[in-house]
Structure 1
Amino acid sequence: MDGWNTTSPAEGNVANGSTPAGASPPPIPAVHWVIMSVSPLGFVENGVLLWFLCFRMRRNPFTVYITHLSIADISLLFCIFILSIDYALDHELSSGHYYTMVTLSVTFLFGYNTGLYLLTAISVERCLSVLYPIWYRCHRPKHQSAFVCALLWALSCLVTTMEYVMCIDKEDDSRSRSDCRAVIIFIAILTFLVFTPLMLVCSAILVVKIRKSSGTARSSKLYLVITVTIVIFLIFAMPMRLLYLLYYEYWAAFRNLHNISLLFSTISSSANPFIYFFVGSSKKKRFKESLKVVLNRAFKDEMQPQRPEDNGHATSVETVV
C-alpha cells in the first residue's frame, strides 16, 4: 500500500495480506496472538464493570462517565479481537469481505475517539469540582454528565464519519487527497490542540491536589483513579491516533508500527478495570473485599453532598456484601 492510502489503517494490514495461489500464508505476527489473548480479558473485565455500574452501584456524576467509557472500551476491544481473529484464521480470504472489515475498523475508531473525549470530560469536570467546589456542590446541573456524554458520542460519530467518508471510502484522486488532508488537519487540531491539552492541564491540577491532600483523611481515591487512567491512555493509546493520521499518506513508512499501535490500544482499554480495582482496594484486605465495595471506594465522590441516609447504611451495605 504505497503512496496514497484510501483504506482504513486497521483494515489495511488485512486487506493487503492475501497470498498468491499455492503459496504458504505468511506467519502471523506474535503481536496478534497477544492481542487475541488480552482483548477477551479486557472485554470481560469491562463487561463485569459495566454490570456493576448499571445495576449494583449508586450513580454519581463520575460513574456515569465511567459507564460510557466502559461501553467505548468494549466496542474497541471487540473490533480489535475480531480483526485479529480474521487476520489469523482467514488471512488469505480477508479481502473478500472488505466492507465487514472496514465496518469493524470504523467502529474501532469510533470507540477510540469516544474514549479520548470522555477521559477529557472526566478530568475537566473533576478539575472544576476542585477549583469551584461551591458551584459543584450546589449549582451543578443534575443531568450534566448524561448530557455531556451524549454530546461527546455525537461528536465522536461526526468525526469518525468524516474520517471514513473523506479518507477511507474514497477513490485515489487529487480532490480526494485534498479532502482527506483537510479532515486529517481538523482531527489533529481537535485531538492534539483541544482535547489533549485540556486533559493534560486538568490532570496536572489533579496531581497537585493529590500531593496537597495526601496526608488528609478526606483524600479521595477518585483523584488517583482519574490521573492513572489518563496517564495510561496518554502512554498507550495516544500514539495510535497520531500514527493513524500519518498512515493515510505515509503507510509504507509506518506500516511496521501498525500492529504495535493496535496492541497498545488493547492494553489501554483493558487496563482501566485493573486500575479501578487496585486503586479502590485496601492494601490490608486486597482480594478479600467484594468487588462492589472496592468499586464504591474507587468512585466515591466526596465533593457530592451526601444524603442523610447514606451514613446510616454505609456500614451495613459493605458488611452484607
Structure 2
Amino acid sequence: MAVDYVEFGDYVLDNETESNTTTAGLLNFSSSQSSLTPVLVAVNILISVFGLGGNSLVIWICGWKMKRTVITTWYISLAISDFLFCVFLPLDIFYMVTSHWPFGLILCKLTSSALFLNMYSSVFLLVLISADRCVMILFPVWSHNHRTVEKALGAVVLMWVCSALLTLPSLLFRQITVHGSVTQCYTDYMSHSKHKAVALTRFICGFLIPFLMIVLCCSVLGVKMRNLTIKSKKPYKVMVALILSFFFCWVPYHTFVLLELDLMNHSLEVLQTGLKVGATMAAANSFISPVLYVFIGNDFKQILKRSLTSKIKEAMEDDFRTGGLNQSRSRSIEIM
C-alpha cells in the first residue's frame, strides 16, 4: 500500500494503493480529524496572515522605497514567491478543517502547485543569491562591470520558467472526486513508478542539488572572507539566515516523503502525521524571510522605520487638515 505525501492534510492514490485498500476506506482515513489538526490549522492561519502582511511589506519596501539593485531584485522575487503561496494557503486551511473541497478542479490544481512552485523558486533564488555573492568576492572587477539589474531580471525569469516546468506534475495529476455531499481534492499518479519518479525529482532538483551548490558557494565565501576586509557583513548574515531557514523548514517534509516511498516498512499513521507537520513547517518558510529582513538587515530596517514614520505623519497631517476644514465649515454654518 502506498499513500503519497500529505499536501496540507491531503492524500494521494496510485494503482498499488487501490490493490490493497478501497478508495472509500482511504478517504475515510485521510479525512478523519486528528487531535493535531487544530494545532496545524492555527499555525497555518498565523503563517497565512503574517506571510501575506510581511511579504507585502518586503515587496513595497524593496520595490518602491529602496534603490533597485541586483540584491533587491533577488529579495523582491523571493517575497513574490512567498506571497503567492500565502494567497492560496487559506484554501488549504479550509480543506484541513472541513475535509471538503468546494472550490473546483482548477483551484485544486493551483493550490497544490503553489507549495511546490514556492519550493522550487525559493531554493533556486537562494542558489542565485549564493552564486551572486560568490562572484562578487571572487571576481570583483568583472562583477562591477557586468553585474546589472537587467541580467538579474533575466536570471529571475529563467528561474520562474524552470520552477513552473518542475511544478507541472502537481497540475497534471491533481484531481477531485465527489462522494455524496463531500468533494475531495487529491493526487492520482495512477502508478507507483510515477509517484516515485515525481517524489525523487522533487527531492533531487528541489533540495539535494541546490543544497550542494549553496554549500559550495558558502564554503568559498567563508574561505575568501577570512582574507578580506569587508565594511559590513550584514548582507551575508541575511543570506546565511535565509538559507538555513529554508533547509530547516524543508528537511522534515523531504525526509517523510522519502520514508513514505517505502511504506510497507513504516507506520502509515506516523507518516501521515509527519507529512502534515512537515508540510506546515515548509509553509512556515514563507513568512520567515520578512522577519529576517527586519531583524538582520540594517538598510531594510531603517527604510521601514522611515517609511512607516512618514506614513503616520502624513495620516496625522491629513486628520489635522480635515479636522480644521470641518471646524471652519461648522463656524461658517453657525455664522449663516
* SS across alignment from 1:9: coil
Indicate the structure with greater strand content.
2
Deviations 1:225-278 (A, max 9, x none): 111111111111243244345546649252111221122123222111111111
Residue in structure 2 matched with residue 147 of structure 1 by the alignment: 154
| Pick aligned residue for 1:60 from 57, 65, 69 | 69
Q: Aligned partners of 1:263 and 1:188: how far apart in 2?
A: 17
Residue in structure 2 matched with residue 240 of structure 1 by the alignment: 253
| Pick aligned residue for 1:206 from 218, 221, 236 | 221
**For residues 146 and 241 of structure 1, do their structure 2 counterparts lie closer, same or farther at Cα, with a shift above 3 Å needed?**
farther
Q: Aligned partners of 1:86 and 1:62: how far apart in 2?
A: 37
Q: Aligned partners of 1:200 and 1:239: how far apart in 2?
A: 19
Deviations 1:166-217 (A, max 9, x none): 6875453xxx33233333333333234421101112123334456656xx56
**Contiguous gaps of at least 5 residues in structure 2:** 14-25, 175-185, 308-336
Residue in structure 1 matched with residue 121 of structure 2 by the alignment: 114
Deviation larger for 50-59 or 191-200: 191-200
- 1:154-303 alignment to 2 at 5 Å? 154-165=161-172, 169-170=187-188, 172=190, 176-208=191-223, 218-244=231-257, 246-247=259-260, 250=263, 252=268, 254-281=271-298, 289-291=302-304
Q: Aligned partners of 2:117 and 2:133: how far apart in 1?
A: 24
Q: Aligned partners of 2:110 and 2:262: how far apart in 1?
A: 21
Residue in structure 1 matched with residue 325 of structure 2 by the alignment: none
Deviation larger for 8-17 or 149-158: 8-17
User: Normalising by the residue count of structure 2, what TM-score does the alignment of the two structures yield?
Assistant: 0.70
Residue in structure 2 matched with residue 301 of structure 1 by the alignment: none
Q: Aligned partners of 1:96 and 1:246: how far apart in 2?
A: 31
- 1:300-319 alignment to 2 at 5 Å? none
* SS across alignment from 1:94: coil
Q: Aligned partners of 1:68 and 1:224: how far apart in 2?
A: 19
Give 4+ residue runs of structure 1 displaced > 6 Å after superposition. 14-17
Residue in structure 2 matched with residue 308 of structure 1 by the alignment: none
Deviations 1:118-155 (A, max 9, x none): 11111111111111111101133552211111111111
Residues matched between the structures, number? 278
**Residues 130 and 214 of structure 2 are in contact (CA less than 8 Å); yes or no, is this contact kept in structure 1?**
yes
**Residues 127 and 206 of structure 1 are in contact (CA less than 8 Å); yes or no, is this contact kept in structure 2?**
yes
**For residues 137 and 217 of structure 1, do their structure 2 counterparts lie closer, same or farther at Cα, with a shift above 3 Å needed?**
closer
Q: Aligned partners of 1:232 and 1:290: how far apart in 2?
A: 24
**For residues 62 and 126 of structure 1, do their structure 2 counterparts lie closer, same or farther at Cα, with a shift above 3 Å needed?**
same
Q: Aligned partners of 1:7 and 1:191: how far apart in 2?
A: 15
Q: How far 1:84 sits from its partner (Å)?
A: 1.4
**For residues 25 and 31 of structure 1, do their structure 2 counterparts lie closer, same or farther at Cα, with a shift above 3 Å needed?**
closer
Q: Aligned partners of 2:198 and 2:53: how far apart in 1?
A: 34
Deviation larger for 62-71 or 258-267: 258-267
| Pick aligned residue for 1:131 from 130, 134, 138 | 138
User: Normalising by the residue count of structure 1, what TM-score does the alignment of the two structures yield?
Assistant: 0.73
**Residues 35 and 84 of structure 1 are in contact (CA less than 8 Å); yes or no, is this contact kept in structure 2?**
yes
Question: Which letter does structure 2 place at the counterpart of 1:184?
Answer: A
* SS across alignment from 1:29: helix
Deviations 1:35-65 (A, max 9, x none): 2123211210001110122222111111101
Q: Report percent identity of matched pairs.
A: 22
Q: Aligned partners of 1:276 and 1:258: how far apart in 2?
A: 29
Question: Which letter does structure 2 place at the counterpart of 1:259?
Answer: K
**Residues 76 and 112 of structure 1 are in contact (CA less than 8 Å); yes or no, is this contact kept in structure 2?**
no
Q: How far 1:291 sits from its partner (Å)?
A: 0.8
Q: Aligned partners of 1:238 and 1:6: how far apart in 2?
A: 17
